[in-house]
Amino acid sequence: MYYIDPHIHMVARTTDDYETLAKMGCVAVSEPAFWAGYDRGSVAGFRDYFEQLTSFEPKRAGWFRVQHYSWLCINPKEAEHISLAREVIAMIPEFLNRPGVLGIGEIGLNKNTRNEAIVFLEHVDLAVKTDVLLLVHTPHLADKYQGTRMTLDMLCGDSRINRERVIVDHVEEHTVRHVLDRGFWAGMTLYPVTKCTPARAVDILEIHGPERLLVNSAGDWGPSKPTAVPDFILEMRRRGHPESLIRRVVYDNPREFLGQSRNFVFRPPDVLEHAETQA
């Protein structure tokens, strides 16, 4: 089955991983900007990173016929350095019109601090003013419930935001309803540690339905599995769910959400095949 992974950090993965994803049916990935494992020291470091995300990664993905899209921001882990965060936010518009750039992300809270909230709101303001999509991270484990409530309150406090153009990611059993009920898209992240397993994600889908729900692997430099979405597909099949429902969650839904961006120029695989026959 063809699928799209809407949240995966491919700069941290090998070229072999792209090949594996392609063999498993992945036709497109969207890659939010992420923490490098250390705090970057200057705005120039971020400019170089955004260059990599918007130029080399799409090329590397293209070697395996995988389409690559990206999101830009400074990570919440680096938000305590407010002056640097503001310099990065001021530089982001240089990249927003590049092919494949969908919006601002992944922004959000990490430890739910005041500075994180300030940097979050300044990113949101940039997204609204430039009319791009928003991808929002929610904190892990003990901080998740409180952090998700804080995040939703901040987003709902800004009447300029079109909630259908925002995804709130890393939802779990105790946060998914809050996100969906307020009109946002919700992302379930499958992860070997700290986040949701494929079985839990299928449970959540069975309870809440497929409307505005996405599933992703978040594959990054930590313990993570870039092929987690195929694991979810397999678990859905094991439980006897129809292919149409599986396809809706892993292919149609991400196309619908990401397709709201003017820079999501998706080429469906059947069109690729057709073009090849004509060549």
| Residues in touch with Zn ion (CB under 5 A) | 218
Q: How far is the CB of 254 from Zn ion (least distance, A)?
A: 15
- Contacting residues for 222 by C-beta, under 8 A, at least 6 apart: none
In 3-state terms the chain splits into helix, strand, coil percentages (rounded to 5) of 50, 15, 35
Q: How far is the CB of 186 from Zn ion (least distance, A)?
A: 15
**Which two structure tokens, joined as six digits, stand for 54?**
């918007």
- Contacting residues for 18 by C-beta, under 8 A, at least 6 apart: 10, 60, 61, 63, 64, 66
Residue nearest to Zn ion (CB): 218
Please say whether the beta carbons of 68 and 263 come within 8 A.
Answer: no
Q: How far is the CB of 105 from Zn ion (least distance, A)?
A: 9
> Which CB, 58 or 105, lies closer to Zn ion?
105
> Which CB, 205 or 218, lies closer to Zn ion?
218
> Which CB, 73 or 85, lies closer to Zn ion?
73
Q: How far is the CB of 135 from Zn ion (least distance, A)?
A: 9
> Which CB, 65 or 140, lies closer to Zn ion?
140
Cα–Cα–Cα angle for 254, 256, 262, rounded to 5 degrees: 105
Half-sphere exposure of 276 (CA within 13 A, CB side): 8
Please say whether the beta carbons of 88 and 121 come within 8 A.
Answer: no
Q: How far is the CB of 194 from Zn ion (least distance, A)?
A: 12
> Which CB, 29 or 218, lies closer to Zn ion?
218
Cα–Cα–Cα angle for 110, 52, 186, rounded to 5 degrees: 40
Q: Running DSSP on this structure, what letter comes out for residue 190?
A: B
Q: How far is the CB of 244 from Zn ion (least distance, A)?
A: 29
> Which CB, 26 or 218, lies closer to Zn ion?
218
